Amino acid sequence: MHFDAMTLYRAGRKAQALGIPLVPKILRRLNLYLHHAWIPERARIGEGTVLGYGGLGVVIHEAAQIGRHCLISQQVTIGGRSGRPGAPVIGDYVRIGAGARVLGNIRIGDFAVIGANAVVVHDVADAAVVAGVPARELRRERDPIQAYLREHSQSALAS
């Protein structure tokens, strides 16, 4: 077992659920020192979601919700916007490129792809590919499941 940022987050979340005081705070700090990642145990992250390069430099808002089987690359920020309430809600199977910023009370649809260094401040539709500063939709996948499987070489899971 390796101690990447997601492993430490999940351990902290489990300790919090069990009502063990202090352990979540220690694990959150350990995550900060080892991976330069800030992932509060109060953030909700779905099963199968992975962090690129062990979560190096990832920052996640404590009220953020992230779906299942997402890929969040290094140096990504999923956070609020100054003075505005709310945090992002990210769907399932979303891929977020390195250095991207997803900010504010917005929703990212299932199977969306966010390009590297994009700054997303508006909702993103299901299966949309966005990039730029501010992020704009480049296209939408007609068959997002097949595109996802093709890119991950898992065609056996297409059913």
Please report, for the chain, the start and end positions of each structural domain, with discontinuous segments joined by +.
43-154
Q: Is 126 exposed, middle or buried (0-12, 13-18, 19+ CB in 10 A)?
A: middle
Of the listed ranges 23-27, 35-39, 108-112, 145-149, the least confidently predicted one is 145-149
**Fold for domain 43-154?**
UDP N-Acetylglucosamine Acyltransferase; domain 1 (2.160.10)
Interval 115-136 mean pLDDT: 96
Residue 129 sits at φ, ψ, to 5 deg, of: -110, 120
Residue 72 sits at φ, ψ, to 5 deg, of: -115, 115
Whether the full predicted model's pTM is greater than 0.85, yes or no, is yes
Q: What is the pLDDT of residues 52-67, one digit of tens each?
A: 998 999 999 999 999 9
Q: Longest Cα pair distance anywhere in the chain, in angstroms?
A: 47
